[in-house]
Every structure is written in structure tokens, then in C-alpha cells.
Structure 1
Amino acid sequence: MTERKQVRPAAEGWTQAKDETGKPLLQFAEPKRKQPPVHLADLSIAERAERVKELGIQGFRAKQLSTHYFTHYTSNAADMTDLPAAGREELVGALLPPLLTEVKRLQTDKGDTIKFLWRLFDGALVESVLMRYTGRITLCISSQAGCGMNCPFCATGQAGLTRNMSAGEIVDQIVRANQAIARGELGGRKVKAGDAPERVSNIVFMGMGEPLANYNRVMSALRTMIEPQPNGLGMSARNITVSTVGLVPAIHKLAAEEIPVTFALSLHAPDDKLRDELIPVNSRWKVDEALDAARAYFDATGRRVSIEYALIKDMNDHEWRAELLAKKLNERGKGWVHVNP
């Protein structure tokens, strides 16, 4: 039997930026930049009431404001007629400042998929993708402007990290998608009279950025997503997928949060030699460490883990690699994982 050739990432022109010591360049620290304006979705329920009181308005108005944003998906003061006319514009301007400006959208699959390009307050650009499937509407969201993980096959990773997104910016992607759905802009099923309004049902953190490198803001956004309406979006944690290239300490931290999101590990190679070339963070935490952390996540939450594996011809799709991956997964038990090629 002829042995299959092995294509190395460098042969495809995929190179990693290096630091001054020659190691793969990884950006965990956020570059110093002006931070986005504080938004309702950045604040806890108690903090919202306090912020409203600071404006000289009764604290219970914060819940009314939350109802408009998280339930009716509006930031337009003119829609909020239950708020006193005097001070309404000031209140909305202070707690619901504009975070995302739509720059461009692409629509495919007969309108069932919409790709949004957003400009943030400082000019940074991020993307999100809205997709209709049978029985669900999924939104792929970004957690960072750019990415510091330096994966050579990823255009975002090669661009480097611009900054972390705020919790408000992360959540606002969902609200803006729900606005598009409400306006009938997503193709496919149309709501009939008497039907419940459609909205985003599933979230995948697989847009721009490494979610676990923006840990605190992503966790804040997650809590707002699963907080029941009207104080949050009322989503199911089980319908939210957090994907990572393998930041092992953060995986253990996520497991301890007791928020049963679906966890996905972007593995792409079962052997350290190739994964070092494909996923630079593998120079910090090796394949076995990442898989051990993934298994620990299952043990802590009972949620089956997804292994993401992009098949690249003659690079990582060899039979022996499939066998090695199966061996490593089975060594850690049965029924805790599925592979998504």
C-alpha cells in the first residue's frame, strides 16, 4: 500500500508570526484602546437600576428599558411610550448607546443565510452570520475584533488582535439579528397570524476571536443571554456553543461556572507535531492536555463535548490520524464526545 504524502502548512504558504525568541506569537493581553460606551447589556440587574437612579430617574425604569431591549429588541426611544417623555431620550441615550453600525450584508441560500459586517464605535470591524435551519435559527457571533491566536490558515488570526469586544457588543449582535428576523429579512418560514414571533434560538461563538481569551466579557454576555426575559434574552444555555482552540486553564474555569453551554474544541490534528504548526497555542498546551480539559468539562457538566476537525487534503486527513484521534478519545472513556469534521 502506497503511503500517502504529507503536506505541511508551510508548503501552502501558511506561516505563523513569531515573537523575539522565535516562538509563535500569541496575543493574550488586550491592546490599549478606548473602551466602548457602557451599555445596558454590560450591567447586572442591580447595576442597571443604580445607573438609572444616577440619572435622577426611578430605578424601576431600568426593568422597563430592559423589556424594550431584550424582549422587543428595540433601542429606539420613540417606541418606549411607557417611559416618561421627560428624560426618555436621555435615559435611552445613556443606557442604550449605539454599538454596532451595519456596513454590509451578504445574503445567500435563497435568503436563509445573512452575513453581517459591523463597524464598532472605534472603527473596528467584526462579523456575524445568521442562518436558518429546519427547526432552529442559529447566529454565529464574534467575541473579539481580530484574534491573537495566530492560526496560519485563518485570515482573522493572521490579522492579529485589535481588541476584545464588550459584553454589550457581543449581546447586541443577537438583538440586531432578532431585529432583522422581525422585519422578515431572513428567508424561509414566514410567521403566520397566531404564531409566536421568531428569534435566534442557537448561538455559536465561532465568529471572529477566541472566546476564552476574552473570558470575563464573554461570561457576562453568556449570563445575559440565559437570564430570563425581560432582564435578559431568555435563551437556553444548551443551545449556546462556546468554541476554543484549547486555552486549557480557561476550559477548567468554564467547567466550574456551572453554566451548561455546549463546549467545542477546535482540534484539527491529533498529533502535536502537526497541531503545533496549525494551532500555535498548542505550543503552550499540548493535544493531550486539551483533551483532558475537554473530558473534565464533560465530567463537570454532563454536556457532551464537540471536537471540531476541519479536514484538509493530504495535511490532516490521513487514516492513521483518524485512528490516533479515535484512540485518544476512547482512552478517555465512552459517550462523552462527538467529532464534527
Structure 2
Amino acid sequence: MSRDPAETPDTAGPDAAADPASPDDVAVLDPYDLDHDGIAALLEELDQPSYRADQVAEWLDRGVDDPHQMTNLPTDLRASLAARFGPTRPRLVAHSVADAGRTHKLLLEYHDGVAIETVLMLYPDRATVCISTQAGCAMGCPFCATGQAGFRRQLTAGEVIRQVMVAHAVLASGQLSAAVEVQAEESGDLRLPDGHPERVTNVVFMGMGEPMANLPATLATIDYLHERLGLSARSITVSTVGLVPAIRRLAQHGKPVTLAVSLHASDDELRDDLVPPNRQHPLASVEAAMEDYRATTNRRVSIEWCLIGDVNDSDEQARGLAAIARRTRSHVNVIPMNPTPGVRWKEPSAAAVARFMSTLDEAGANATLRDTRGRDADAACGQLLASYTLGQGRRLPVAVGAAERIDARRQDPES
């Protein structure tokens, strides 16, 4: 059967509604939107024996989506499948290289012109791909480049899965070396890290969009990665701003992936401004969901904290964060904010970062200061698209209201 790319009504955004599909639309399928049962049903419809489903699935899992290249299928079946599998492969619009060749930002465009970002991060022992689940984001976090760009639409499960397959392809094809050679002529010494894997080993749902606001596609992608590509649940991380009902559904899904909760503030007043869904899911309920997730999956939850200069880098915020981390037995990842086009806030000073980390340590938090990948090529999430949008002469929505409220509280804490 086809995976259900159903949208979450209260978070899908104003463009989520679509006209009913025409018969022609229904006839065209993205093969990566089909689970194994869906592939089997399609081949049964085409009067094919059941073993053909395994053959087609094996090709798709190798990244081959053109039926004409599925050489162990009969010629007439290849033609029939080609007619059903429409032009659903994303187009690689841009490929930026950063971090001396270790980070590769891919800007992908789907058939309807919607563009999303996928980031491939290379290490000597692993290749991690950061994937998007939505075109844009409806969460409205004012410091986030993706949130500033607004929401376009949900991605289907097939569109999410295809990002991993594109990353597989560029790893295996030599495209990474070619991109490094081209940009090295302009940027100096770039090279791929020695010994990096030739296939994706880790996947993080930390790209554009809120994975929990597109939960059907997120769960279907997790299933595909685990069951078809053989990735362990421990090598998959799902990030969320804290949509509590979806966290609980993920806990019951049966695959103990790593859950990363983006807090960014340790009190509800500041978090209401930095993470607007906090107004529906305040910190107490998010903490309870984190504790339940750990109890259900036996997996430690991570806390993500984007450290913003003069906003959430105070000693008070650090102590509040440490208290949450102790209560939930979570590990904290602190990521200094990347300078972002169209966003007024700034990265923290080196002194502020050091003081924040020291305060966390003194308060008993288990915390790591994470390297900010892609700073030199707009490779942090949303920044390549933000730069592209501004370069086209268009403006990003600016969260003036949130910034003014935070500035006013900093100047007059009693207000």
C-alpha cells in the first residue's frame, strides 16, 4: 500500500489544503512512497508474479528508480512501471562544500518547484545525512532561517526517503570529489576526509521543518531506514521542538530512535517567544513526555540548545537548563547560533559560550559544545535557502514582535 503522507491539521500551515487529485495524478506514483506491500499490490495489478515485488524493492533500495535500468525485469514490465513512476526524482539545484570538504549542502528541487535542503556530514568513521521533512516550517521560531522562510507544504514519505537515496548516490558516484575540486579552485585547500564510508551510516531528522508535525512521513521513513536499508535505531535521531502527543506516538512506534528535543529556553516566558509551540506544550508537559520516552524506549533523550547572544546565554538560563537535564537524565548539546540572513540576533561571544558551558558543568549537567558545521557555505539548516531567497530580492518575514519582547525584558527584568 502507499504510505500515508497525511498532514497534521494544526501545524501543516495555510498552504496544506490541496484540490482533489485528478485521475492522471492518481496514476503517477513515487516508488519511494510505496512500502513493500504497496509494491506488491502494484505488481499484482500488472499481473506479475509475487517475487517481482522483491526484485523491484531491491533496485529501489540500491537507489535505482528508473525501471528501464532494472535489468532483471521483463522489458514490457519495465515499460509499464516507467509509465506509473512519474518524474518524482528531485533535481540537484546547488551543491555547496564547507568545513574543508567535510560538509556538503545539497539544495534539492521537487517536481512542483519546491526546494528543500539536505546536508551530508562526513567523518572518518561515518557519513551522516541531515534530512528535511517539510518545505519550510510552520513552527515560527524567530531565530531559525527555515522558520523565517515560512511554510510551503508537507513532504511525502517518498520525498523524505529520496534525500537519503540522493546522499547514497553522491557518496558512491564521485560527485563529492568533483564538487570539492571545483570549489577548491575558489576556496583554497579542500579535500574529503580519509576513510569516510561510501554509504549513509547515520540519519538525523534535523533539516527543514518539524518532523513531528509530519509524523506519518517521519515514521514511514524510520521504517524504511531500519527495515530496508538496515540502519539501526540508534543511528537515527529525530528532532522536535516538543510536540507532546507526537513524542508519545513515536515512543510507541517500536523503534527506539534517539529523540532530540529543542528547548532553547529554560522558562516558559522566554520559550513562548523563542519556540511558539510552547504555548500549547509548555515545559512541564515536554519534560513529562521526555521522561516517558526514556522509560518506554530505554533510550536517553538529548536536549538541543541553540545558544543566542544576549538572549538565552545567561547564567540563569544555564542553571535552569541544567535542572531540566538532571530531572530528565538528558544529555545537552549546545550549538552556538550561526549568523543567518534576515535574522537580527547574533552568535554569542566566545567568552559567553565558555561561561555558559562552565555554568552547566557546575550545575551538574552532562553537556557537549557542538561544532557548528557549514558556517562558511550557508550549510546550517535553512541558510542556503535563506541566502538564495534574499539573493532573488525577496524578504524573509522578520520576527520583530518576539525580538522586541525579549529586548524589553532584558532591559527591564521586572516588566
Answer yes or no: same fold by TM over 0.5: yes
1:310 matched residue in structure 2: 306
Choose which of 3, 7, 16 in structure 2 pairs with 1:31: 16
Matched, 1:155 2:145: yes
Distance 2:86 2:259 in 1: 31
Choose which of 277, 291, 297 in structure 1 pairs with 2:293: 297
Matched, 1:170 2:150: no
Distance 1:249 1:123 in 2: 32
| Same amino acid, percent of matched pairs | 42
Letter in 2 for 1:61: R
1:215-294 counterparts in 2 under 5 A?
Answer: 215-227=215-227, 232-294=228-290
Letter in 2 for 1:69: L
SS of residue matched to 2:175:
coil
Kept in 1, the 8 Å contact 2:32–2:60? The answer is: no
1:138 matched residue in structure 2: 128
Distance 2:82 2:56 in 1: 8
Letter in 1 for 2:258: T
Which blocks of at least 5 consecutive residues in structure 1 are unaligned? 1-25, 192-196
Deviation at 1:216, TM superposition (A): 0.9
2:339 matched residue in structure 1: none
1:62 matched residue in structure 2: 53
Distance 1:331 1:306 in 2: 13
Distance change >3 Å, CA 102–CA 33, structure 1 → 2: farther
Which blocks of at least 5 consecutive residues in structure 2 are unaligned? 1-9, 177-191, 335-415
Per-residue CA distance 1:142-182 (angstroms, 9 max, x = gap) = 00011110111112212222111011111011111101111
Distance change >3 Å, CA 96–CA 173, structure 1 → 2: farther
Deviation at 1:39, TM superposition (A): 2.3
1:41 matched residue in structure 2: 32
Letter in 2 for 1:283: R
Kept in 2, the 8 Å contact 1:33–1:163? The answer is: no
Distance 2:306 2:251 in 1: 25
Kept in 2, the 8 Å contact 1:237–1:259? The answer is: yes
Kept in 1, the 8 Å contact 2:43–2:53? The answer is: yes
Distance 1:79 1:44 in 2: 20
Choose which of 172, 179, 185 in structure 2 pairs with 1:182: 172
Distance 2:229 2:327 in 1: 39
1:98 matched residue in structure 2: 88
Distance 2:83 2:169 in 1: 19
Deviation at 1:319, TM superposition (A): 1.1
1:317-332 counterparts in 2 under 5 A?
Answer: 317-332=313-328
Deviation at 1:124, TM superposition (A): 0.8
Letter in 2 for 1:27: T
In terms of mean alpha carbon deviation, does 72-81 or 203-212 score higher? Answer: 72-81
Q: TM-score, normalised by structure 1?
A: 0.83
Deviation at 1:206, TM superposition (A): 0.7
Distance 1:92 1:131 in 2: 33
Matched, 1:198 2:198: yes
Matched, 1:51 2:36: no
Letter in 1 for 2:106: F
Kept in 1, the 8 Å contact 2:130–2:203? The answer is: yes
Deviation at 1:91, TM superposition (A): 1.5
1:22 matched residue in structure 2: none
SS of residue matched to 1:158:
helix
Deviation at 1:96, TM superposition (A): 7.1
2:330 matched residue in structure 1: 337
Distance 2:161 2:215 in 1: 14
CA RMSD across the alignment: 2.0
- Structure with the largest fraction of helix: 2
Kept in 2, the 8 Å contact 1:52–1:58? The answer is: yes
Kept in 2, the 8 Å contact 1:104–1:118? The answer is: yes
Deviation at 1:78, TM superposition (A): 4.2
Q: TM-score, normalised by structure 2?
A: 0.69
Deviation at 1:58, TM superposition (A): 2.6
Aligned residue-pair number: 303
Letter in 2 for 1:188: P
Distance 2:219 2:83 in 1: 25
